């Protein structure tokens, strides 16, 4: 039996989807432990590209079991679109997708609240995905959430919805003059009672299921969403997501003991990106940032909202921080090919704050605006590495970049990704 946590070390979008799909071949079960449809994990197989918001990224492997853990906030509307999209590609998940009874639901009013807060001139703009993720977690903590187990009992659900929909409609009216009229409320009730019938087929006690599989010595991947710097406790608060993407969250979000976590692998993009507001010490607002965005296809998954990702050089201070918090000793370095055309590459080694050198990411957020990244300049390789499959065949300057990342982050780069496809991967050993 072995278990593996796949965790983002930066601000999300490091390539967790590609890596999870890659590793899934050697595992039996792939479980998501937090986040919701704010995540967008891309898996590219041949000419097909899949973006998973809720389904674990191992789902494309026939016969692999996928679990959505209790720590996830589930938007049933998005879930069933994803399932339908797979069905159109001839992929049947009906006997191998399980969802924890205790997972909370994202309700339509959560999306309205998320959107309204983002657009409210008097509240702080976070740049959220407007997916209702934050308000759903807020309701969970306030003990007024609806869970999968509530949804599958039609009679009690109807009573709970009557009370909650009234509360939410009063809240929206008194705070934002938004009227959830009777038709809207009846429509929500009808749709969710329908989702309840559908979800019944997938609902399990996730903790019991996983612990039984662990006893049977099955191999399990826990797939994180977002990244360490978006963690509600350890990230760049308040510019964070509303859950804990870090590895420690696996136990809470799946109901397993820490003694069953064997290994944590950190996913590191070879440069840095961030979507939405908040601190980003190595951000480049110039033509180099634009070049990274264009070459790396750094636009958000949703072609309609299509937000550009902010881009910058690799910050090893935050990767070292993520390694400490998650217990990462091994890194998968992704998107190294995006740096192919750069003559010179900068890597942030440490920070200078008010003329003092900091080797560690400061916990005091008052210091963050004063961070000046201290860079080391390295020579680029200026050749295409997307066809390289053997570490030894990488250009010397690419190897030097990798070695320097290992030194600065005190960890080992065991896999290098040189393109979005499964085979565009270099296994070091
Ligand atoms: P995730 O949220 O961490 O799963 O990452 P996303 O899927 O949101 O973003 C990563 C993007 O980079 C996707 O479009 C991937 O297909 C793509 N990608 C992943 N690895 C590589 C790589 O090594 N090279 C290139 N060029 N693209 C990659
Ligand atoms: P994956 O799993 C990148 C960001 C949003 C915003 C902040 C809060 O694909 O790496 P939220 O909607 O969660 O309340 O937004 O977090 N964010 C992500 N950025 N990748 C993600 O997921 C993200 N999920 C949320 O842009 O800044
Ligand atoms: Mg993503």
Domain match, 210 and 242 both: yes
Domain boundary among 246, 264, 282: 264
Domain boundary among 144, 169, 199: 199
Q: How many A from CA of 38 to the centre of ligand 2? A: 6
Overall number of domains in the chain:
3
> Ligand 2: which of 37, 128, 237, 308 to mutate, judged by most atoms within 8 Å of the beta carbon?
128
pTM of the model: 0.97
CA 178 vs CA 110, 128, 136, 168: distances in Å: 13, 20, 18, 10
Domain match, 419 and 328 both: yes
237-262 as b/e: b if 16+ CB within 10 A: eebbbbbbbbbbbbbebbbbeeebbe
Q: Which residues are known to be catalytic?
A: 13, 41
> Ligand 1: which of 6, 7, 18 to mutate, judged by most atoms within 8 Å of the beta carbon?
18
pLDDT given for residue 262 in this prediction: 97
Domain range for 278 is: 268-427
pLDDT given for residue 35 in this prediction: 98
For ion ligand 3, residues whose CB falls within 5 Å: 13, 40
Q: pLDDT (tens digit, 9 = 90+) per residue, 315-364? A: 999 999 999 999 999 999 999 999 999 999 999 999 999 999 999 999 99
Which residue's CA lies nearest to atom 26 of ligand 1? 419
Domain match, 129 and 195 both: yes
What CATH number is given to the structural domain containing 195? 1.10.300.10
Domain boundary among 213, 242, 264: 264
Distance from C-alpha of 345 to C-alpha of 288, rounded to nearest angstrom: 10
Domain match, 383 and 281 both: yes
Q: How many A from CA of 241 to the centre of ligand 1? A: 20
Domain match, 311 and 209 both: no
Domain match, 43 and 131 both: no
72 ligand 2 Cβ < 6 A? no
Q: Which atom of ligand 2 is nearest to the CA of 225?
A: 2
Domain match, 285 and 415 both: yes
Taking CB atoms within 8 Å and a gap of at least 24, the contacts of 411-415 are 411/266, 411/319, 411/323, 411/328, 411/329, 411/330, 411/331, 412/329, 412/330, 412/331, 413/330, 413/331, 413/332, 413/333, 414/265, 414/330, 414/331, 414/332, 415/19, 415/332, 415/333
Q: How many A from CA of 157 to the centre of ligand 2? A: 30
- Pick out the chain residues at pLDDT < 70: 301-305
Distance from C-alpha of 310 to C-alpha of 271, rounded to nearest angstrom: 11
Domain match, 18 and 114 both: no
Q: How many A from CA of 13 to the centre of ligand 3? A: 4
Q: pLDDT (tens digit, 9 = 90+) per residue, 68-121? A: 999 999 999 999 999 999 999 999 999 999 999 999 999 999 999 999 999 888
Nearest listed ligand to the Cα of residue 337: 1
pLDDT given for residue 305 in this prediction: 66
């Amino acid at each position: 039996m072995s278990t593996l946590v796949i965790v983002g070390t930066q601000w999300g979008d490091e390539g967790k989807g590609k890596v999870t799909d890659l590793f899934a071949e050697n595992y039996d079960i792939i479980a998501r432990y937090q986040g919701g449809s704010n995540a967008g994990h891309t898996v590219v197989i041949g000419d097909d590209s899949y973006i998973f918001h809720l389904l674990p990224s191992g789902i494309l492997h026939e016969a692999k079991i996928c679990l959505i853990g209790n720590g996830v906030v589930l938007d049933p509307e998005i879930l069933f679109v994803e399932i339908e999209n797979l069905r159109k590609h001839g992929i049947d998940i009906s006997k191998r997708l399980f969802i924890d009874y205790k997972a909370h639901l994202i309700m339509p009013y959560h999306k309205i609240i998320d959107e309204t807060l983002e657009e409210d001139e008097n509240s702080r703009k976070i740049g959220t995905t407007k997916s209702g993720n934050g308000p759903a977690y807020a309701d969970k903590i306030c003990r007024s959430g609806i869970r999968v187990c509530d949804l599958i009992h039609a009679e009690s659900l109807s009573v709970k919805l009557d009370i909650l929909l009234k509360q939410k409609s009063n809240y929206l009216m008194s705070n934002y003059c938004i009227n959830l009229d009777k038709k809207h409320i009846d429509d929500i009730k009808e749709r969710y009672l329908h989702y309840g019938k559908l979800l019944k087929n997938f609902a399990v006690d996730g903790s019991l299921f996983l612990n039984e599989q662990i006893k049977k010595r099955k191999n399990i991947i826990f797939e994180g969403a977002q990244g360490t710097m978006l963690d509600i406790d350890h990230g760049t608060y308040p510019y964070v997501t509303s859950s804990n993407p870090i590895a420690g969250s696996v136990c809470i979000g799946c109901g397993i003991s820490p003694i069953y976590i064997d290994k944590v692998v950190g996913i590191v993009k070879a440069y840095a990106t961030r979507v939405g507001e908040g601190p980003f010490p190595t951000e480049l607002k110039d033509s180099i940032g634009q070049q990274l965005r264009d070459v790396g296809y750094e636009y958000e998954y949703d072609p309609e909202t299509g937000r550009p990702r902010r881009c910058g050089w690799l910050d090893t201070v935050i990767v070292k921080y993520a390694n400490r918090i998650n217990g990462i000793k091994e890194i998968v370095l992704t998107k190294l090919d995006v740096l192919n055309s750069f003559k010179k590459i900068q890597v942030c080694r440490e920070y200078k704050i008010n003329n003092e050198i900091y080797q560690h990411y400061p916990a005091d957020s008052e210091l963050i605006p004063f961070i000046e990244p201290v860079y080391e300049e390295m020579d680029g390789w200026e050749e295409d590495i997307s066809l390289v499959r053997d570490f030894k065949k990488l250009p010397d300057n690419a190897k030097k970049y990798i070695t320097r990342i290992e030194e600065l982050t005190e960890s080992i780069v065991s896999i290098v990704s040189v393109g979005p496809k499964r085979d565009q991967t270099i296994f070091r050993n």
